[in-house]
């Protein structure tokens, strides 16, 4: 194809390539100075022309980015931030992980603006003031100073960062509740698609969209039972939800924000089902009781035995383990763990499908090391698979 002036038609923006631009400038130079001008790649004139062609092509690329910025499906970065404002949403900032810790020391010792350190050297801040109880212990929630999905397994947070007289030890007996990373372009586009459901589709879709838009909310599942059946029925009420109810399972976010979003988007007279109950006062000063679920986390144990082929290297075991961990971490609330998908994830770690360096000799999965089987792991509607790296075993 030869050089042409950029244009827009029914199929979008059309631009010449770098090579088209370069060839056109060379042709113009020969028209000016004659065909005998030397413009091979080793000449200074060619190098100068190639620089000009590159600058022109870079400018056209900027035009392409500007053109793409008109739509949320193709806009990126700051441009996408501007476009989604039309839908009343904004990119979610990174959140901070939190963890419950147990403090021991001299009774009635006050720890002011204290902080602790985990095994990775990251700092976690205590509340402004923590007082050790009469029995020499206190429980507090620490917040990581580093934004994003920072993890901490039981026992990882064990170092006092701000020594205080009377404060002896600190430890976490439970895993941290991970914060969320800065929302990516892909995640924001997905939420923008959901957000347009708020005014235009069903109330159920609108409720899900409103919940996903809340700060620090990571995963959401919304279920509806519009029947009179309140017992478990595989055809009409497979989860045994209350009759004429909406059930929201929400990971992350403030309880009050979640309850308000449910109240103002659910259907009229619809019962809200769940184990977390929050009182929400509406504009008429009426106190509404809103219920929803927080997800329960299920450790998924995976035992994988590989069969080595030519070209296999031992470092692939870590690669495969990371891939399994990543897959489990992306599952939505209520989504069963598919052993077939796990096998696909494992086999994709082969560089070439036509020439694999390993195969699967045996794979079993289960909710515990004692319940491993060769079928899918069923996850309840209010549960989510927990990506526990230590529960994944890869052997040869």
Express each pLDDT in 266-313 by its tens digit.
888 899 999 999 999 988 889 999 999 999 999 999 999 999 999 999
> Strands 167-171, 129-131: parallel, antiparallel or unpaired by DSSP?
unpaired
Q: Which pLDDT value is given to residue 199? A: 53
Is the predicted pLDDT of residue 248 greater than 80, yes or no?
Answer: yes
Q: Which pLDDT value is given to residue 72? A: 87
Is the predicted pLDDT of residue 388 greater than 90, yes or no?
Answer: no
Structure tokens at 335: 């989504």
Is the predicted pLDDT of residue 196 greater than 80, yes or no?
Answer: no
User: What are the residue boundaries of the structural domains of the chain, listed by start?
Assistant: 7-68, 96-171, 196-294, 299-395
Residue with tokens 């060619």: 46
What SS3 class is residue 246?
strand
Q: Which pLDDT value is given to residue 198? A: 54
DSSP 108-135: T-EEES-EEEETTS-EEEPPSEEE--TT
| Banded model confidence at residue 22, pLDDT cuts 50, 70, 90 | very high
| Banded model confidence at residue 55, pLDDT cuts 50, 70, 90 | very high
Is the predicted pLDDT of residue 384 greater than 90, yes or no?
Answer: yes
> Strands 392-395, 123-125: parallel, antiparallel or unpaired by DSSP?
unpaired
Q: Which pLDDT value is given to residue 148? A: 85
202 vs 215: CA distance, rounded Å: 23
Contact between residue 331 and residue 337 where contact means Cβ atoms under 8 Å apart? yes
Q: Strand pairing partners for 131?
A: 110
Nearby residues of 173 by Cβ (< 8 Å), 6 or more positions away: 100, 102, 154, 155
Query: What is the phi/psi pair of residue 190, to 5°?
Result: -65, -40
Helices (H), the chain: 18-33, 44-68, 77-84, 185-195, 197-200, 203-212, 255-263, 316-329, 339-347
Q: Which pLDDT value is given to residue 178? A: 83
Structure tokens at 383: 């549960």
| Banded model confidence at residue 94, pLDDT cuts 50, 70, 90 | confident
Q: Which pLDDT value is given to residue 71? A: 87
pLDDT tens digits, 136-165: 999 999 999 998 888 899 999 999 999 999
Residue with tokens 């985990």: 118
Mean pLDDT of 80-86: 88
45 vs 24: CA distance, rounded Å: 14
Is the predicted pLDDT of residue 379 greater than 90, yes or no?
Answer: yes
Cα 376 to Cα 15, 359, 379, 391, distances in angstroms: 50, 20, 9, 16
Closest residue by Cα to residue 247 from 196, 282, 219, 208 = 208
Q: Lowest mean pLDDT: which of 17-26, 195-204, 331-340?
A: 195-204
Nearby residues of 371 by Cβ (< 8 Å), 6 or more positions away: 301
Mean pLDDT of 17-32: 94
- Kindly report the pTM of this predicted structure: 0.58
Query: What is the phi/psi pair of residue 197, to 5°?
Result: -75, -20
| Banded model confidence at residue 44, pLDDT cuts 50, 70, 90 | very high
Is the predicted pLDDT of residue 376 greater than 80, yes or no?
Answer: yes
How many other β-carbons are positioned within 10 Å of the β-carbon of residue 363?
A: 19
Q: Which pLDDT value is given to residue 354? A: 87
Q: Which pLDDT value is given to residue 10? A: 87
Q: Which pLDDT value is given to residue 201? A: 60
Mean pLDDT of 339-346: 95
Structure tokens at 58: 């870079």
| Mean pLDDT over each residue of the chain, to the nearest integer | 91
DSSP 248-312: EEEEES-HHHHHHHHHTTSPTTPEEE-SEEEEEE-TTSPEEEEEEBPPEEEE-EEEEEEEE-TT-
């Amino acid at each position: 194809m030869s050089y042409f002036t950029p244009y827009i038609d029914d199929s979008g923006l059309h631009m010449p390539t770098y090579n088209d631009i370069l060839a056109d400038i060379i042709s113009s130079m020969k028209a000016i100075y004659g065909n005998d001008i030397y413009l091979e790649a080793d000449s200074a004139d060619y190098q100068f022309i190639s620089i000009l062609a590159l600058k022109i092509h870079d400018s056209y690329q900027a035009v392409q980015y500007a053109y793409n910025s008109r739509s949320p499906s193709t806009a990126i970065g700051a441009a996408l931030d501007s476009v989604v404002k039309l839908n009343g949403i904004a990119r979610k900032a990174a959140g901070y992980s939190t963890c419950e810790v147990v403090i021991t020391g001299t009774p009635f010792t006050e720890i002011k603006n204290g902080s602790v350190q985990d095994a990775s050297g990251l700092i976690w801040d205590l509340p402004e003031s923590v007082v050790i109880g009469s029995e020499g212990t206190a429980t507090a929630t620490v917040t990581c100073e580093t934004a994003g999905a920072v993890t901490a397994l039981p026992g990882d947070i064990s170092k006092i960062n701000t020594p205080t007289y009377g404060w002896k030890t600190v430890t976490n007996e439970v895993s941290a509740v991970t914060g969320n990373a800065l929302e990516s372009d892909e995640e924001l586009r997905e939420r923008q698609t959901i957000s347009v459901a708020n005014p235009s589709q069903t109330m159920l879709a609108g409720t899900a969209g409103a919940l996903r838009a809340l700060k620090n909310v990571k995963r959401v599942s919304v279920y509806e039972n519009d029947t009179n059946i309140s017992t478990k029925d595989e055809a009409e009420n497979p989860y045994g939800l209350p009759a004429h109810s909406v059930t929201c399972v929400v990971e992350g976010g403030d309880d009050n924000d979640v309850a308000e979003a449910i109240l103002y988007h659910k259907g009229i007279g619809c019962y809200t089902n769940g184990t977390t109950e929050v009182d929400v006062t509406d504009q008429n000063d009426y106190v509404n009781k809103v219920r929803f679920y927080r997800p329960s986390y299920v450790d998924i144990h995976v035992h994988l035995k590989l069969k080595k082929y030519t070209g296999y290297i031992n470092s692939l075991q870590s690669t495969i383990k990371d891939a399994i961990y990543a897959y489990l971490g992306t599952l939505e609330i209520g989504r069963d763990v598919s052993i077939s998908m796990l096998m696909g994830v494992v086999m994709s770690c082969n560089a070439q499908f036509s020439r694999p360096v390993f195969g699967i000799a045996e794979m079993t999965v289960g909710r515990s090391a004692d319940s491993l089987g060769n079928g899918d792991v069923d996850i309840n509607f209010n549960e989510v698979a927990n990506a526990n790296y230590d529960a994944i075993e890869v052997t040869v």
